[in-house]
Each structure stands twice: as C-alpha cells, then as structure tokens.
Amino acid sequence: MAMLSDNDASEVRKIFGALVRDVHVKVYTRILECPTCRDTETILKELDQLSERLIVTFLNPETDREEAERDGVDLAPVIIVSDGSNSRVRFLGTPSGYEFSSLLTVIVDTGGEEEPLSAESVAFLDDLEEDLKVQVFVTPTCPHCPSAAVLACRMARYSGKVAAEVIEANEFGELSRRFRVQGVPRTVINGKFFVEGALPEPMVVSALKEGLKEAPSGEKNLMEYIQTD
C-alpha cells in the first residue's frame, strides 16, 4: 500500500525539481525487532521514484556489516543523506509527520544550488576547532521540530567537523532516557550542551561560540550563553 497520495507525490516531485546535483540516501533497516522499518522502506522507495537525482540504497546493518561499520550504524531504521562522500547527516526513525518535511528539506539542501546557512554561521563553522555531534530529538507531531532538525543537518552538511542525528524520540526510547528528553525538540551537543525548543539560527551560533570557550564538567543549557542587552 502506498504511503504517499497522488497529490502528495506530485507536490514532492515539484519540490525535487530544485535538485541540480545527485543526492545519495542510504536506508538501513532490518526485518527483526524493528516494527517501523517496513514503513521507512516504503516511504523511501516511493521518494526514489520521484526524481532521477535521488539515489537510494537499501542496506541491513546485520548483513551489510562492513558498510554499516564504515557508516557507524548499528540501529534501525537509519537514513543517511549526503552527496555520496560522507555519512554526517542522518535520521533515526520513520520520517512521518513533520519529520517527513525535515527530510525533504535536507534532501533539497544537499542537492540544491544555494547555501542555506547565513554568512555568520558559515564563518563560525569555518573556524571550528573541535568536532561537534549534534543530536536533535523530535516527534512526528511537533511543529517546532523541523527548524531545529534542519539547522543541525545544515551545519553537518557544510562542515566536516559536525555530525547531525535527528532522532525520533518515541522510537528510540533508550536514547531519549539517556539524554533526559522530556520535551521536543531537545538538542544535545557533544553530550555537554542542551537546549529545549527551536532557537533561531543566529541565537544558536552565538550561544555555541560562547559555550565552546568553556569546558563544562556537566551538562549546561545553551540558553545560559545567550547574551541579552
């Protein structure tokens, strides 16, 4: 059974019209102990039919072990979006609801013509001295989650020092408990910084600039580094 209606498929085809370069999507799923993997496969198979620029590969972390190890994948479902040269941008969980719109935006960012980040963000990323792992916990029903998820993915797409994970909080309960997710979006950076809610891009970059000057012993809220006049 199709996941996308004819109207939805037509709209997505128009969105993918902005692609000027190939976008590589790896989809890691497994049959056992993964109730959402089948839906994930179905959605990505349907997207694969909507643009010749989209190159979708389906893998299993159990049977495609060498590639899974190279990509650092041991969970499922996992979707990796890139230009084919890296595995820094990934979605953990089924791309449904608002998460579907985040995935579409990241695909278009990857294969589109323009750099979607501001000049200030680009300068910040160019000057990064340490690697950042940005994990954004989301749910399909959260209208504020896409902006936080997309920003993390844009940073990772631009910089080789940034890796982004967009994590469906309900599907990955163990990760949600580990990072004390009580509301979404919740962004965790290097396990040291966190922020609840979706902040504007300039605010995130400004707070990170200040926060990275320190070496906090525990987890700190990025809001503490936001300067107010």
**146-193 residue pLDDT tens:** 999 999 999 999 999 999 999 999 999 999 999 999 999 999 999 999
The whole-number pLDDT of residue 3 equals 87
**Position 63, amino acid:** T
Question: In the chain, which stretches have pLDDT less than 50?
Answer: none
- Three-state secondary structure call for residue 92: strand
- Give 133's strand partners: 163
Given a contact cutoff of 8 angstroms between Cβ atoms, the answer to whether 136 and 152 are in contact is yes
User: Which of 48, 46, 70 has the alpha carbon at shortest distance from 57?
Assistant: 48
Query: In this structure, is the dihedral angle defined by the CA atoms of residues 118, 135, 157 and 8, taken in order, positive or negative?
Result: negative
Domains and CATH numbers, the chain: 6-214 (3.40.30.80)
- Three-state secondary structure call for residue 19: coil
The whole-number pLDDT of residue 142 equals 97
The whole-number pLDDT of residue 219 equals 87
User: Which of 49, 165, 169 has the alpha carbon at shortest distance from 97?
Assistant: 169
The whole-number pLDDT of residue 1 equals 66
- Three-state secondary structure call for residue 61: coil
